[in-house]
Amino acid sequence: MINKLIIDTLKPLKIPVCFQRYSGKAETYITFHEYFSDGEDYEDDEESLTAHYIQVDVWSKNDYTELVNEVKNLLNTAGFKRLNEADLYEEDTKIYHKGLKFYYLEER
């Protein structure tokens, strides 16, 4: 459910969005993964709310500032809360990398 939500939410960007790995040729793309998930609330011993902690990674050979802002806006609109972010540079591949961490609360 959460993977489909992320892919569908970021579809308007018209760049590849992949779970965990991207193996194509595009110079700009997005990968994501869930790094933690936990029951947030329970009713009658059944999980009623699930917390999803997601990392979304923007990869680009070019300036990704505008793209990162679009990613944040789209995910915020879909109910994700941004926790933190970091600018990185991958020396081995010579690609810029922005790591964005989000929290999403799913009702069961």
What is the CATH number for 67? 3.30.2000.30
Tell me how far apart the terminal alpha carbons of the chain are, to the nearest angstrom.
11
Structural domain range at position 54: 2-107
Structure tokens that stand for 9 in this block: 């939410």
Q: Give the count of domains, the chain.
A: 1
Q: Cβ atoms within 10 A of the Cβ of 25, count?
A: 7
Ranges of beta strands (E only) in 1-108 are 17-19, 28-43, 46-60, 81-90, 95-107
Question: Residues 75-94: pLDDT tens digits?
Answer: 999 999 999 999 999 999 99
Helix (H) or strand (E) holding 4: helix 2-10
Main-chain dihedrals φ then ψ at residue 6, nearest 5 degrees: -65, -50
Residue 108, pLDDT > 90, answer no
Residue 21, pLDDT > 90, answer yes
